[in-house]
A and B are shown apart, each in its own frame.
Chain A
Amino acid sequence: NAGVTQTPKFQVLKTGQSMTLQCAQDMNHEYMSWYRQDPGMGLRLIHYSVGAGITDQGEVPNGYNVSRSTTEDFPLRLLSAAPSQTSVYFCASTSLSGAWFSDTQYFGPGTRLTVL
């Protein structure tokens, strides 16, 4: 099992450019989520999905879009990059098949994004 994979590992964008961060998992997890990690702010939830075709907003969704067409993939789209989106982005997945209180989130390695 590869677990949760993310591409690219590093990316530099110019203000106004768009791009897609890829996330995939091979554990058949229903739940997938995107976080951004900023110094002093911890991890903040951007968007999440509880299954194919179902997505919802997290804490900081503005400027980001997601879709979930398959169980395995959960791409994060930056529509028009801004310097405030410079961050490290983590994707995570969780099984929802167990008791709700036994979840473990499995994280990807992260994508370091710089917006100039």
Chain B
Amino acid sequence: AQRVTQPEKLLSVFKGAPVELKCNYSYSGSPELFWYVQYSRQRLQLLLRHISRESIKGFTADLNKGETSFHLKKPFAQEEDSAMYYCAHGRASGTYKYIFGTGTRLKVLA
């Protein structure tokens, strides 16, 4: 069964410091991976997806099939980055079930 693991429940960094939120997945086929973000009192929204190879709000995430990881990175954290971040595995061939990790709360300290 597909599984998404986010080992850190809480990550605190100082403003301007680099950020890395970890995500590991278990899926034997070609993965479909996303990062979603939930700011305080807002709904979840897509941050980025691996297929697009994009950088959103300074965040990037690279798929590493060898390590089955999709870590989210930002070189310089900003206070407005404080939020809940979820890694998710989307539907792959034969299933319509999205699987989310348990989430990591990022706190950026002034």
Interface residues of A (CB under 8 A from B): 4, 31, 33, 35, 40-45, 48, 50, 56, 58-59, 90, 92, 100-105, 107-110
Contact = CB atoms under 8 A, between A and B. Distances in A.
B102 A42 contact: yes
B interface: dominant SS: loop
Contacts of B6: 42
Interface of B: 6, 9, 30, 32, 34, 36, 43-46, 49, 51, 86, 88, 90-93, 96-103
A45 B102 CA distance: 12
Contacts, number: 62
B90 A48 contact: no
A68 B69 CA distance: 36
Contact of B45 (A33, A44, A50, A107): A107
A92 B44 CA distance: 9
A32 to B, nearest CB: 11
21 contacts: A33-B98, A35-B100, A40-B9, A40-B102, A41-B102, A42-B101, A42-B102, A43-B100, A45-B97, A45-B99, A90-B44, A101-B51, A101-B90, A103-B32, A104-B34, A104-B46, A105-B44, A107-B44, A107-B45, A108-B43, A109-B43
